[in-house]
Amino acid sequence: MTETNHVDATVSALDVPLERDGFMRNLIRELAGTLQDVVGLDEAAGYISVVGHRVGDQINQEYKSALRIERLSRAQVAAALVDLKRRIQGSFYVIEENAQKIVFGNRDCPFGDKVRDRPAMCMMTSNVFGVIAAENLGYAKVTLEKTIAQGHGECRVVVYLQPEADTGGFAAREYFES
């Protein structure tokens, strides 16, 4: 056995906690952190919002295709948003749903502990939820009332379905059907 082969075998046998999912979460965390440090939180959130909008469009098309429908109903939007988060290892659930809003809770972020101190990453949720709701229901305004990224033990995300909805003082992002 050559020295290179011996070193390769030794290194490959090490107990190093490195795998694709963890690597990708770390990569996104560091990208978000670098953006926040270099351009500030608001600008970083803006960049991540663009990505979230594109991802929201793709996911929306996937659900409509799978259901073979042109538009999702309010109940289907709520179910799709919970389902997509479940598929990526989040624990979102509907707290309340009516003609004015859909309120979601969440116990586990899909980014895991990598989201801590990276609130810009929450723009993925805001944009994916906002885009899917607006494209199917005509309009959405999303507030992130609590987030794991900000140190809360859970998330509370509200998707308002009426432009005149009062967000209770929480900052909101609006989404319109394209």
Q: Which of these, 110, 108, 121, lies nearest to 152 by C-alpha position?
A: 108
CATH number, domain at 20? Answer: 3.30.1380.20
What percent of the chain has pLDDT above 70?
97
The predicted model gives 19-29 an average pLDDT of 90
Domain that holds residue 105: 3-176
Q: How far apart are the first and last CA of the chain?
A: 63
pLDDT tens track for 86-133 = 999 999 999 999 999 999 999 999 999 999 999 999 999 999 999 999
The predicted model gives 24-50 an average pLDDT of 92
Whether the pLDDT of residue 9 is over 60: the answer is yes
pTM of the model as a whole: 0.87
SS (H, E, C) the chain: CCHHHHHHHHHHCCCCCCCHHHHHHHHHHHHHHHHHHHHCHHHHHHHHHHHHHHHHHHHHHHHHHHHCCCCCCHHHHHHHHHHHHHHCCCCEEEEEECCCEEEEEECCCCCHHHHCCCHHHHHHHHHHHHHHHHHHHCEEEEEEEECHHHCCCCEEEEEECCCCCCCCCCCEEEEECC
Beta-bridged to residue 143, according to DSSP, are 158, 172
Residue 143 backbone phi and psi in degrees, to 5? -120, 145
161 confidence band (pLDDT: 50, 70, 90):
very high
1 confidence band (pLDDT: 50, 70, 90):
low
**How many domains does the chain contain in total?**
1
